[in-house]
Chain A
């Protein structure tokens, strides 16, 4: 395989904050690869390290087998299209594009020829003398691309190049970028937070979250076989549900059993299940019906209808279909085994490490929680807290520590929330209450909410 760039064990922190952790990735020559993730996931940091504006704390970036660390950005054979274009306002279109060539002391006639050629490529001939600030967003975008590719880089880096454009313009530019990639035949590394853009443009998508690679794959793979809840939720619409693998190719969720195609999870193992809304089918044949539900809303979405149904077992599911079903009607539904995506559970409870303070208190996350451990004060302990046992309070003062709702997953009959504490630790919570992303909450423990108990054991030295 022809790898142009190879990233090995790359880590980066800003102060105490880990932005990227142990990134391993290779990029094939000539491919269109997209780094996709929500804001703050580290995708821009990764791009800036490839460009050379940031140095990795650990790990290496190889280009054509040679280490890039230590090579200053101006000597790297790659060019960047910046987020807000960064066209030089004191230079006109021609001088902007010729900037790199002039620095390389390319002869004047050659410069002129090449500038003309790229201007034609981006469909901006006749704009040479224009002041860049008089150009529209889309035009500036084209000039920024022209300024980069005129230097004939081996790799073109694009940092959310379409983010500043309106929807229609963005769609048009997507097609143009794709064509340009084909014509130039060079490697494109593209950064975006827009999953649709990533799926449309890329040969390969790299999904990042919280500084870690979640999944690498073709757009089809990523969509059809997400490896975890984050990817499933971030890419497209999905029903994400708690499930139990009964045995190979047999899974239970929404209190029904289904055939599936997944194997190797073991028997009677807790899993997460993803079903895309377009993969739940209506049927009138009782023999095909796997479960029944009642339609509780139906909205026309342009091409399809989006319906929410309540299953006979008390779960809420989203279904997309070309035909509407009236609200209130009883429907029969089935899911193909192929369309059920089973994922390993990332965690079964919150696992925290702390110290026993006294008979009634354990210190966790630098705060004192009322927990009876039965151990001597000073004992280091591992505390396993069920998701249901974490209680979120509107009023910050009612909590023992404060946090912010970081990520919300609807699981059909409850919400699974990721809470980021003030100190940057994460807690996961199952709740029926409705919160919004970004809400500030007080956090305390309420063991009575949970069927399972909070388990406190002595810290296993080897577990460290």
Chain B
């Protein structure tokens, strides 16, 4: 049996080559100038560049707002879907996942054009709407997963001990579903910060997100500065993942 543990070796090598090495390269490029000498200049440039900093702040703000909206709208939906009393068929859940199977850019363009046709000016409002529209299923699904698997007797035990259904929900169901919420946050927050095409479409290029400036720098061959910006993002990811102790929620996949 012990030999079969060797079966992971090809993949381990693959991971080192295509995951670890590229991330190391991001760091290497981030601390090099275009001649290949070590420098802190790229990072310094970011922290002194007002435009870049404000884009960064806007990105974090939009991402926070988007995440909050997704929780606010998605938690009740996930709860209703996981509750047999309200939802007996798996079809409704599939209906929520189905739009994810259609190209995200196409969906975003459709949303933007629907706004234009309705005469709504593209801007912050439409950006948030489009973001929620794109990411809501990613919030609903992990929360739904946790709630659907949760032993009903926890809530019943709370009610049995004298809690009203409402108190039981806040004191027992919500705390126990936090792992689902954290994976939802993980699946919504960082991708929002880093999107580039979506924000361009939804605001007609009026609002730039962090992803866009990374892309602009890489595309105009400013690799070192682009890498430095990507490095900043890696740091944030490192911090956010610390909050997520339980990645098991992703298991089982989306189908």
Contacts and interface: CB of A to CB of B under 8 A. Distances in A.
Nearest to B172: A88
A74 B164 contact: yes
A89 B154 CA distance: 9
B157 A82 contact: yes
B240 to A, nearest CB: 22
Interface in A30-75: 51-53, 72-75
A451 to B, nearest CB: 51
A151 B162 contact: yes
B156 A104 contact: no
B175 A90 contact: yes
A194 B176 CA distance: 33
Given A82-B153, A88-B154, A74 B160 contact: yes
A99 B160 CA distance: 11
> Which among B153, B156, B158, B161 has the highest number of chain A CB atoms within 10 Å?
B161
A80 B161 CA distance: 8
Contact of B159 (A73, A147, A151): A73
B159 A74 contact: yes
Nearest to B158: A99
Contact of B156 (A53, A90, A99): A53
A53 to B, nearest CB: 6
B176 A90 contact: yes
B175 A103 contact: no
Contact of B161 (A53, A72, A83, A103): A103
Nearest to A78: B160
Nearest to B167: A103
A135 to B, nearest CB: 16
Interface in B139-167: 151, 153-154, 156-165, 167
A52 B156 CA distance: 10
Contacts of A147: 157, 161
A100 B162 contact: yes
Contact of B153 (A52, A72, A84, A90): A84
B151 A74 contact: no
> Which among A82, A84, A86 has the highest number of chain B CB atoms within 10 Å?
A86
Nearest to A82: B153
A148 B160 CA distance: 9
A406 B165 CA distance: 39
Nearest to A53: B156
Contacts of B162: 74-75, 100, 103-104, 151
Contacts of B165: 72, 74
Nearest to A75: B162
Contacts of B172: 88, 90
A89 B176 contact: yes
A83 B154 contact: no
Nearest to A97: B161
A79 interface: yes
A163 B95 CA distance: 40
A429 B168 CA distance: 50
A357 to B, nearest CB: 37
Contact of B157 (A75, A88, A90): A88
Given A89-B176, A90-B175, A90-B176, A100 B153 contact: no
B189 to A, nearest CB: 23
Contacts of B157: 80, 82, 86-88, 147
A86 B154 contact: yes
A99 B175 contact: no
Contacts of A74: 159-165, 168
> Which among B154, B158, B160, B175 has the highest number of chain A CB atoms within 10 Å?
B160
A349 B48 CA distance: 95
Interface string A88-120: 111000000001100110000000000000000
A83 B160 contact: no
A84 B153 CA distance: 9
A99 to B, nearest CB: 5
Contacts of A104: 162
Contacts of A79: 160-161
Given A84-B151, A84-B153, A86-B153, A73 B176 contact: no
A74 B168 CA distance: 10
A171 to B, nearest CB: 25
A89 B157 CA distance: 12
> Which among B151, B153, B157 has the highest number of chain A CB atoms within 10 Å?
B157
Interface string A117-153: 0000000000000000000000000000001100100
B176 A86 contact: no
Interface in B104-122: none
Contacts of B154: 86, 88
Contacts of A53: 156, 159
A60 to B, nearest CB: 21
A72 B164 CA distance: 8
A51 B163 contact: no
A147 B162 CA distance: 12
A303 B205 CA distance: 88
Contacts of A151: 161-162
B70 to A, nearest CB: 23
A147 to B, nearest CB: 7
Nearest to B175: A90
A100 B161 contact: yes
Contacts of A89: 176
B160 A80 contact: yes
Nearest to B168: A74
A375 B156 CA distance: 57
Interface string A261-282: 0000000000000000000000
A82 B160 CA distance: 10
B137 to A, nearest CB: 27
A104 B165 CA distance: 15
A104 B158 CA distance: 12
A99 B161 contact: yes
B153 A83 contact: yes
Contacts of B153: 82-84, 86
A151 B168 CA distance: 17
Nearest to B164: A74
6 contacts: A74-B162, A86-B151, A99-B158, A99-B163, A100-B162, A103-B163
List the 3 closest A-B pairs by CB distance, nearest first: A100-B161, A86-B153, A86-B157
Given A75-B162, A100-B162, 17 more contacts: A51-B156, A51-B160, A52-B159, A80-B156, A80-B160, A82-B153, A84-B151, A86-B151, A86-B153, A88-B158, A89-B176, A99-B158, A100-B161, A103-B167, A147-B161, A151-B161, A151-B162
